[in-house]
Amino acid sequence: MNDRVYLHEVIDIVGQNRAKYNEHMCNYRPLAREERRMEMVGNFSTVGSTERWPESINLWEFVDGWDGVARNFRHEFNNPVHQDKNLVPWWAEALNYRSGGYDRLLVASQQSPTVDQLHSAGVTGECYMHELIQVKPGSACDFLSMIDDSGRTVFEVYGWTLVGAYRHAMVNDSEVIVLWAIPTWDAWASWEKTKETDEAMVSWRRSTASVVVDWRAKLLAASATSPLGNSAPVN
* Mean pLDDT, the chain, whole residue set: 96
Q: What percent of the chain has pLDDT over 90?
A: 92
- List b or e across 154-190, with b for residues whose CB sees 16 or more CB atoms inside 10 angstroms: bbeebbbbbbbbbbbbeeebbbbbbbbbbbeeeebee
Residue 137, CB half-sphere, CA atoms under 13 Å: how many? 3
Q: Quick one: pLDDT at residue 86?
A: 84
Residue 103: per-residue pLDDT? 98
CATH number given to 5-224: 3.30.70.100
For the chain, percent of residues with pLDDT exceeding 70: 98
d(CA 170, CA 175): 9
pTM for this one? 0.96
Provide the pLDDT for residue 234.
60
Q: What is the pLDDT of residue 101?
A: 97
* Residue ranges covered by each domain of the chain: 5-224
Partners of 105 in beta bridges: 7
Query: Does the pLDDT value for residue 54 go beyond 60?
Result: yes
Confidence band, pLDDT 50/70/90 cuts, at residue 83? confident
Model confidence at 85, in pLDDT bands (50, 70, 90)? confident
pLDDT score recorded for residue 235: 56
pLDDT at position 84 over 90: no
Q: What average pLDDT does the segment 18-34 reach?
A: 97
For the segment 152-198, what is each residue's pLDDT rounded down to a tens digit?
999 999 999 999 999 999 999 999 999 999 999 999 999 999 999 99
Nearest to 145 by CA among 210, 228, 69, 63: 210
**pLDDT grade, residue 70 (50/70/90)?**
very high
Residue 1's pLDDT is what? 87
Burial 78-107 (b: 16+ CB within 10 A, else e): eeeeeebeeeeeeeeebeebbeeeeebbbb
